[in-house]
Amino acid sequence: MTPARPWRWWSASGRRSGRTPVMRDIASVAEIRAAEEATMAAEPGGPDRGTSDLMLRAAEALAQLVWQELAGRPEPRVLLLVGPGNNGGDGLWAAQRLLQRGVRVSCWRTAPDVHAEGWAAATEAGLTEIDAAEAIAALPSIDLAIDAVFGIGARPGLPDPVATWAAAASDIGTPVVAVDLPSGLAADRVSADAPHVRAAITVTFGAAKLCHLAQPAASACGRLEVVDLDLGLPPAQVRAVEPHDVAVRWPVPGPLDDKYRRGVVGIDAGSSSYPGAGILATTGALYAGAGMVRFLGPEQAAQAISLRMPSVTIGPGRVQAMLLGSGWGDRADARERIEAALELDVPLVLDADALRSLPASGLENCLLTPHAGELAALLDIGRTDVTADPIAAVRRAVDRTGATVLLKGATQYVAGPGGDGDDRRVDLAVPGPAWTGQAGSGDTLAGMAATLLAGGLTPRWAALAAASMQAMTAARNPGPWPPDEIAARVPDTVAWLVDQAPATARLSNQTQ
């Protein structure tokens, strides 16, 4: 299969762009269904046609991608799995086009009723029908398989014969191209605990779906290809950040910027029990580009910081943003310390132990950075409630606290109290490798976010840019690097990324 491509700049519709913010829209099943129905209703013959122009356009795009993947292979062989819905119709019409190009295509009908016109067209073009046992036996000899069993409206899981085939294909390593989504996943869910197909490539239509970009489901989707069918989708309520979005918003100092204009960060983190948290948070803040860092934590951590990071100032003073809570432990004065910081009227990052002592109000200019367990405790719900529906959980946290919330994890979600005319939007940070799932990563991330707040970014973009930058740095430095080493490599990633975004593309740091 074609290897994964490097970072790609996308527009909201899925087109690449070189100079503008390009967050990728994530559409729900309901939004896609409504847009498809409206598009088909406007076609000649209306929605009652057996094969719509929309299906034919989707099939042509699917066939073209498969054809590209087969390039250079003599007498290529493809196995098509077809289910009962329009997803199967897309696969059958794509098979017809591949057959016309000389590809040998065999097909297992996983359901008795499939798209009638698509089946007729494909069989007329030379499609060979096989059964379940033959579909499994064919796996070692085919070039790739097309999964067109279930589409975006399906529930999680697979019937037994298809689940057996999916497990065999995964074991053998047969590359699978999934139509819309790997069968067994649910488009609007992040889970992947039911039997499902594992795809090398997923070709979806109109916009990405949540399962494509949120873990653990995203790991089953492989490389994502979005085909823009001009469906006229509404403004997205969930979006995914792309590297270019970070590049055009990252605070880059100008010739007149001194340390105060770049931003002074106050770090109140660590304790006698957890001094490392203060060191890690300060490391994150410093290497993210703070003009100045003031460390306000315990003496044990302050001594280590003075030796390792001599540019850090120890003790209080003027700041443009603060971080509180990382490694505090059971601090008796936690609530009073947070309330005193709020009186400074600067943006705050409230992390870890500070989340257990939040004031009832006044958090509108704050960024909360919980992981799933901390968010569950904040909302008084189970951890599995958060992991099963992180979108709902992070929105609920915003409603309860009035703050911006960054939910940390394999996929990182950010929601805020508004400011851009949409209080319900949730954004996904750029993903990174699983290597970052280790103790201390959250501390360095909190420090990075505090630097970006001090540099003028809004809480939403401070969260998104910090989480994305940490992830991209880890991706550029694969392996089990500890979080302080990843933080130390952030400047290289910043320079690399910012160099790709022309100055003319830069946005105000206050852009939502």
The CATH number for 346's domain is 3.40.1190.20
Q: What is the pLDDT of residue 506?
A: 61
**pLDDT band per the 50, 70, 90 thresholds, residue 369:** very high
> Are 268 and 230 part of one and the same domain?
no
Question: What is the 3-class SS of 52-92, one letter each residue?
Answer: CHHHHHHHHHHHHHHHHHCCCCCCCEEEEEECCCHHHHHHH
Question: 172 labelled as ligand-binding?
Answer: no
Q: What is the pLDDT of residue 39?
A: 85
The reported pTM is 0.91
Stretch among 8-12, 218-222, 351-355 having the lowest mean pLDDT: 8-12
Task: Residue 123: name the closest of 102, 89, 96 by CA.
Answer: 96
State the sign of the Cα–Cα–Cα–Cα dihedral 354, 356, 359, 362. Answer: positive
Residue 117 burial (CB count, 10 A): 14
The boundaries of the domain holding residue 135 are 24-236
d(CA 449, CA 442): 10
464-497 pLDDT tens trace: 999 999 999 999 999 999 999 999 999 999 999 9
pLDDT at 447: 98
Alpha-carbon gap, residue 71 to 68, rounded angstroms: 5
State the residue for tokens 């077809």.
82
Backbone phi, psi, residue 413, to 5°: -115, 140
Q: Check whether 143 is labelled as a binding-site residue.
A: no
316 & 183 share domain: no
**Same-domain status, 192 and 232:** yes
How distant, in Å, are the alpha carbons of 260, 267, 307, 308 from that of 312? 14, 10, 10, 9
What gap in Å lies between CA 173 and CA 219, rounded to an integer? 15
Q: What is the pLDDT of residues 96-141, one digit of tens each?
A: 999 999 999 999 999 999 999 999 999 999 999 999 999 999 999 9
Together in a domain, 208 and 97: yes
Domain boundary among 208, 236, 264: 236
Query: Nearest Cα to 363, choosing from 347, 381, 385?
Result: 347
Looking at the structure, tell me whether residues 220 and 330 fall in a common domain: no
Please, what's the largest Cα pairwise distance for the chain? 80
The reply to whether 105 falls in a domain is: yes
To the question of whether residue 154 is assigned a binding role by annotation, the answer is: yes
Over range 416-428, report the average pLDDT: 76
Q: Specify burial of residue 400 (Cβ count, 10 A radius: 0-12, 13-18, 19+).
A: middle
**Rounded Cα distance, 186 and 192, in Å:** 8
In the listed set 236, 262, 284, which residue is the last one of a domain according to the structure? 236
Specify the amino acid at residue 160.
D
Do both 316 and 299 map to the same domain?
Answer: yes
Whether residue 193 is annotated as binding a ligand: the answer is: no
The residue with greater pLDDT, 414 or 435, is: 414
Among 11-15, 254-258, 499-503, the minimum mean pLDDT is found in 11-15
Position 56 pLDDT exceeds 60: yes
304 is in an annotated binding site: no
Give residue 473's Cα distance to chain centre.
16
Cβ atoms of 327 and 277 closer than 8 Å: yes
- Give a yes or no: residue 11 inside a domain: no
Token digits of residue 451: 């630097």
* Cis peptide bond upstream of 216, omega within 30: yes
The reply to whether 153 sits in an annotated binding site is: yes
* Residue 371 known to bind ligand: yes
151 with 71, same domain? yes
User: Quick one: average pLDDT of 448-453?
Assistant: 98
In a domain, 316, yes or no: yes
CA dihedral 11, 13, 14, 19 (to 10 degrees): -10
Residue 160 has pLDDT above 80, yes or no: yes
Tell which wins on pLDDT, 423 or 265. Answer: 265
- How many other C-beta atoms can be found within 10 angstroms of the C-beta atom of residue 383? 15
In a domain, 8, yes or no: no
Judge whether 235 is annotated as a binding position: no
pLDDT for residue 170: 97
What is the CA angle 161-166-170, rounded to 5? 150
* CATH number of the domain residue 144 falls in: 3.40.50.10260
Tell me if 479 is assigned to a ligand binding site: no
Q: Is 157 annotated as a binding residue?
A: yes
- Portion of the chain with pLDDT greater than 90, in percent: 84
In a domain, 373, yes or no: yes
Q: Which amino acid is at 355?
A: L
Give the mean model confidence (pLDDT) for residues 289-301.
96
Instruction: Find all residues with CB under 8 Å of 400, minimum gap 6, and list them.
Output: 378, 379
pLDDT, mean of residues 50-57: 86
DSSP 8-state secondary structure symbol assigned to residue 160: H
Last residue of a domain, one of 236, 254, 273: 236
Number of domains in the chain: 2
- Of 272, 266, 269, the closest CA to residue 286 belongs to 266
**DSSP run (H or E) holding 224:** strand 223-227
151 marked among binding-site residues: yes
Residue 172 confidence (pLDDT) above 90: yes
Considering the domain boundaries, does residue 15 fall inside one? no
86 is in an annotated binding site: yes
| Annotated binding-site residue? 395 | no
Helix ranges, 145-204 (H) = 160-172
3-state secondary structure of 329: coil
Q: Please, what sign has the CA dihedral across residues 359, 364, 368, 374?
A: positive
How many Å apart are CA 460 and CA 175, to the nearest integer?
A: 38
Residue 183 in marked binding region? yes
Please tell me whether residues 291 and 435 are part of one structural domain. Answer: yes
Check whether residue 207 and residue 259 sit in a common domain. no
Q: Are 37 and 255 in contact (CB under 8 A)?
A: no
Q: Which residues contact 105 (CB under 8 A, 6 or more apart)?
A: 77, 78, 79, 80, 95, 98, 99, 122, 126, 127, 128
Do the beta carbons of residue 68 and residue 134 sit within 8 Å?
Answer: no
Is residue 207 a part of any domain in this protein? Answer: yes
> Are 309 and 433 in a shared domain?
yes
With respect to residue 428, please indicate whether it lies within any of the assigned structural domains. yes
The half-sphere exposure of 131 on its side-chain side, counting CA atoms within 13 A, is: 1
- 230 and 248 both lie in a single domain: no
Same domain, yes or no: 112 and 156: yes
